Every structure is written in structure tokens, then in C-alpha cells.
Structure 1
Amino acid sequence: MTKVLIATDKPFAPVAVNGIREIVEAQGYELVLLEKYTSQDELIAAVADVDAMIIRSDKATKEVIEAAKNLKVIVRAGAGYDNIDLAACTAHNVVAMNTPGQNSNAVAELAFGMMVYMARNFFNGKSGSELKGKKIGIHAYGNVGQNVGRIARGFGMEVYAFDPFMTDEQIKNAGAIPLHSAEEMYKMCQYISLHIPATEQTKKSINYDLLKDMPKGAVLVNTARKEVIDEEGLAKLMEERADFHYITDIAPDCDCFSKFEGRFFATPKKMGAQTEEANVNAGLAAAHQIVNFIEKGDEKFRVNK
């Protein structure tokens, strides 16, 4: 019997688990749960005889993949997949997938919640500013970026986007004004919303030189990955410019940002996908992708080679 493991240090909502169970058991598969585990050894033990696995922010390391002798497919319930050792998956003939788009609205709403919170001075009773009429630049215009654009238009913002993997026509059709370099966008937009993945090319790419020419009252919004930020460069810029703001749902490694009171905010933990709807959507999508792969060989959302 095909065995599917849900391995979640931060568990899915019960409604999501029930939905996943219905999907996999309808195919005659067995569902196994590993929730709130406290060590990697527990995960390594749990994968020993499973054919498929669903994870969230859990670390699917080389050791985990090597221990999963029967594993055929692993699905990260979410967009980012830097918590999966893709090389190990490829070496052991394991298909790795993500579930793009399922968390997109949740992340976009969080970005705007933080923007409003910052623009209104953390609701401290003092006069703030409005988003209407401001220029927002969206760095990477995929599923999340396009949801940010949709909400920004509702606020009456001017929406610009830079994405080297999209044509001008695609960006225009998705409701934004295309720009052709990050440098151009950062120079003209007071608000920048980051949606780039953490790759060798993007790590620390959001740096001092890129940010220093942003307009007065600049606000950098990061709901992507902390690795894309050059924290030392950003901190240096915030020392030099008392008008620069940084809001993020990924707490920086450097504790130096706490001194920028009124200009910095980080959520206690990564919150982008932390809604009931996103939780359910991503979990059910992962289950459907596992079934479609095992039954039909469908690799549509494969992220390894």
C-alpha cells in the first residue's frame, strides 16, 4: 500500500489534515502523521518506509532523503522550497514539488497589512500617511507579486513591476507598468515589495547600492526570504537615512535593526502563509499533486531536475 507522510513541525489546521486524508485514502493510500516533532531524528525515523511526503517549513535534508528508501515524491506545501535538498532528491530519483499560488493572497494581504501599519506609525495616535497615489515597485511579478499588484490598485497606488522572466506584455496584462531593471524601479518607487526567491544569484542582492537611491520616505517590504537582504548594507543605509523604513515577516539575523524605532518592524515569526485559507489550500494542493504524480506521472510543479 502506498504510504503518504505529513511531516509538520508546525501542523496543518485539522480541516486541512482531514481534507488531505480524504484525498489520499480515496486512492487506497495510507496516511501517516508526524506533527510537532522536536528533533530531526524523529523525521528521519518517520520517513523510513513512506512513498510520498508533504512538508511545510520542515527541513528535508540530504540525511532525510537518504533515509527514505521508498520515497518517490516530496511536496512542499507552499511556494518556497529552499528547505528541500534538491540535489539529494535528484540523486535518489525523488521528485520534489512546491504548490505555487496557494499562499499568494495570504502573503499579499500580509504585505499590505504591514504597509498600512508602518504608514500609520504603528497606530500610535500620531498623524501618518496614505498609500493612495504612491508608487509601488514589485520585485518579481509571479503569483504573489500579481496579488500585491491587485491590492495596490485597489489602494489607488501606481503599480510598477520588474521581472526578468516575464515579457512587457505579460506584465501589462497582469496590471502593472513594466520596468527593465531593478535599479530603475528602486530609484522611482517609494514602496518596494520583494518576492524574489533565495538563489545564488539573489542572495544579498538587495544591498546598499541598490537601496540608497530610493525616494524620500522609502519603505522596503520583505515577505520573501531574509537571505536576499544584505543586512549590513541595509543597516548602514538606515543609519544614514532617517527616512528609510524596513518591514518584514522574516526576523533579520542582525539584532541591530531594533534601534530603528518607528522605522522597522518584523513579525515574531514568518507569517506570510499563516491563514486558515492558505493552510488548507496548500495542503489540499499537495495531496492532489501526489496523487496525480503516482497515478499519472504528472510532474507539473517539479522543482528539481
Structure 2
Amino acid sequence: MKVLVATEKPFAAAAVNGIKAEIEAAGNELVLLEKYTEKAQFLAAVADADALIIRSDKVDAEVLDAAKQLKIVVRAGAGYDNIDLAAATAHNVVAENTPGQNSNAVAELVFGLLVMAVRGFYNGKSGSELLGKKLGILAFGNVGRNVARIAKGFGMDVYAYDAFCPAEVIEAAGVHAVCCQEKLFETCDVVSLHIPATPETKQSINAALVGKMKKGGVLVNTARKEVINEPELIKLMAEREDLKFVTDIMPDANDEFAKFEGRYFSTPKKMGAQTAEANINAGIAAAKQINAFFKDGDTKFQVNK
């Protein structure tokens, strides 16, 4: 079987070596398409591929039309909104992600952003500490659980809400389970977002919700840009000069949040999973999942139907 790794932004060399070793050990062939500059290059390369590994590369209907032999595509990472799932299903292509491989990297970034925020973005003035503060985690998946683990090291009081995770599972992890999003925001000094961008969650973090936070509240977003109702949050931050917002989302060309100097920070690009360890882990996991699919028909991590 031919496995194509198509990455406009390539994996680290160590990750490529690990992927190659996994794929070839199973008797499959690895082909690399790195740093491509035109979609036509992607379309040509995928034409005879049986399997595909991507990072942030878009797999849409046009790509799937070109991939006549494709049976499986794996996104090396947790998010998979760069794959057209309906089109994949229509083409009888299994779409998978690699959940958990980037979780610690994202969780550590949460605290890099958070410490900077509570210390006044290192402006030379007195800030505050995280010890004893209430941290709210919205969605208790792989990243959320790592955030909880690190927060306990800071001595924070940790709360969580997840519509799909039973309260007893959250409590078993030593975290306070709350009944709803609203309760999480009104209870906590800091809220960290770890929800996917779905029809239910897009634009859901709005002024009514964030406005429930107590004075000096900090909102951290290392999830997806689409979950924030940006116009409402901009208006709220203009009205409430005590609120801070730190995010791992590349800002728009006209970033209106930038006017809140000393209360807002954004990374220049999405960096949650940008560590050598996460890069290697996700790439090798993708290779192992493809091998398992071809060997045993394993679709444990399938995200389309």
C-alpha cells in the first residue's frame, strides 16, 4: 500500500523518520510531499495513494475526487475540521484523527499564557498568583485532563463541565463537576476552553456567558477561533476593563482585540501542538493507525460515518 504524507508545513525530521520506520516495517511504501506551494501538487501526489497523513492541510471534495485509490486519511492531531467529513464518507474514505498526542503540549501552553496574563503581561507592575484561584475547564477531554493535572501543581481549585463526560468521571479525577457552562463561568476566576468547533459550539462563548465571570476574570482559548463570538466579546471587554483574554489563535488582519493593551494577547499562529514531542507523537500515531487499518480493519479513531 502507498502511504502519502502531504504536509505544507512539514513534520520534524525525527517524526518523518519514525513514520517511515512504522510504515515500512508493515510492508507499506511511504511517499513524502513536503512544503508544496500549489494545490495541484497535492492533487497529483494523492492520485495513486492508498492512505494519507496530513497536518493542517485541507482534504476537501476536490482532493477526494483526485484520490481514486484512497481508503483512509489521518489528521495528525486532535482537530479535524480541515477534512470534509461528508465528502470523505461519500467517497468511502475513513477519516481519523490522533486524539491525545498533542494534549500535554496544549495544556502546557495554557499555563504559559495564563501566567503571563495574571502577571500583567510582564509590564513591571505587581500581578497576582494562581495559587488558590478557581480554574474552570470547559470540556474534560484529553487536553482538559492535562490542564487539570498541571493546575493542581499550581495549587488551583479546579472545576469542569463537559456535556458528554459524566460528573462522576470528573469528580474521580479530583475535579469539581458543575452542572452547566453558566455555573462554570460564574464560579471561576479563570476559564480555559477545550471545546471543538461544532454547529452547537460555534459562537457559543458570548457576552452573556463571559459576562458572568467575577472581577478580574481571565478567558483562555487554545481550542478553536470559531467558538468565540468575537463581536460580543470585544463589546464586553470595552465595557468591563477588568477582563483579560489570551488566545492561541492567529488574529485577523484587523484584530480589534489589539486595542485592549495589557488585557489581551494572541500567539502569531496556532501553537498549541507546536512542540517537537507532540509533532513526533502525532505523526507516529497516524502511521500506526494506518497500519492497523490495513492489517485488521481497525477504525477505532474514525471521525466520519
Structures share fold, TM-score greater than 0.5: yes
Are 2:135 and 2:156, in contact at CA under 8 Å, matched by a contact in 1? yes
* Shift, 1:57, TM fit: 0.8
Distance of 2:105 and 2:39 partners within structure 1:
29
* Shift, 1:175, TM fit: 2.4
1:190 corresponds to which residue? 189
* Shift, 1:114, TM fit: 0.4
Letter of the 2:276 partner, please give it: E
| 1:80-103 deviation digits (Å, cap 9, x = unpaired) | 000000001100110000000000
Distance of 1:279 and 1:105 partners within structure 2:
12
Deviates more, 1:246-255 or 1:40-49: 246-255
Letter of the 1:172 partner, please give it: E
Distance of 1:102 and 1:245 partners within structure 2:
29
1:173 corresponds to which residue? 172
Letter of the 1:137 partner, please give it: G
Distance of 1:185 and 1:27 partners within structure 2:
47
Equivalences for residues 86-125 of structure 1 within 5 A: 86-125=85-124
1:127 corresponds to which residue? 126
1:293 corresponds to which residue? 293
Are 2:251 and 2:268, in contact at CA under 8 Å, matched by a contact in 1? no
Letter of the 2:177 partner, please give it: P
2:258 corresponds to which residue? 258
Distance of 1:47 and 1:57 partners within structure 2:
16
Distance of 1:133 and 1:41 partners within structure 2:
54
1:235 corresponds to which residue? 234
Distance of 2:173 and 2:199 partners within structure 1:
28
Distance of 2:45 and 2:179 partners within structure 1:
47
1:208 corresponds to which residue? 207
Letter of the 1:213 partner, please give it: K
Are 2:204 and 2:228, in contact at CA under 8 Å, matched by a contact in 1? yes
Distance of 1:199 and 1:281 partners within structure 2:
26
Are 1:76 and 1:286, in contact at CA under 8 Å, matched by a contact in 2? yes
Distance of 1:237 and 1:58 partners within structure 2:
34
List 4+ stretches of structure 1 deviating above 3 A.
none
Letter of the 1:215 partner, please give it: K
| 1:205-240 deviation digits (Å, cap 9, x = unpaired) | 000111111011011000000000000000000000
Distance of 1:50 and 1:121 partners within structure 2:
51
* Shift, 1:251, TM fit: 2.5
Aligned to 2:48, the other structure's residue is in SS state coil
* Shift, 1:124, TM fit: 2.4
Distance of 1:104 and 1:48 partners within structure 2:
33
| Count of residues paired in the alignment | 304
* Root-mean-square deviation over aligned CA pairs: 0.8
Letter of the 1:294 partner, please give it: F
Are 1:150 and 1:175, in contact at CA under 8 Å, matched by a contact in 2? no
Distance of 2:285 and 2:243 partners within structure 1:
39
Distance of 1:28 and 1:35 partners within structure 2:
22
Equivalences for residues 22-101 of structure 1 within 5 A: 22-101=21-100
Are residues 1:138 and 2:137 paired? yes
Q: Percent identity, aligned pairs only?
A: 65
Letter of the 2:256 partner, please give it: C
Distance of 1:280 and 1:187 partners within structure 2:
39
* Shift, 1:252, TM fit: 3.6
Aligned to 1:102, the other structure's residue is in SS state coil
Letter of the 2:217 partner, please give it: A
The unaligned stretches of length 5 or more in structure 1 are none
Distance of 2:39 and 2:177 partners within structure 1:
44
Letter of the 1:226 partner, please give it: K
Are 1:23 and 1:288, in contact at CA under 8 Å, matched by a contact in 2? yes
Distance of 2:44 and 2:133 partners within structure 1:
52
Aligned to 1:96, the other structure's residue is in SS state strand
2:20 corresponds to which residue? 21
Letter of the 1:188 partner, please give it: T
Are 2:194 and 2:222, in contact at CA under 8 Å, matched by a contact in 1? yes
Letter of the 1:43 partner, please give it: F
Deviates more, 1:250-259 or 1:56-65: 250-259
Letter of the 2:35 partner, please give it: K
Distance of 2:195 and 2:111 partners within structure 1:
17
| 1:24-76 deviation digits (Å, cap 9, x = unpaired) | 01122111111111122221111100000100111111111111000000000
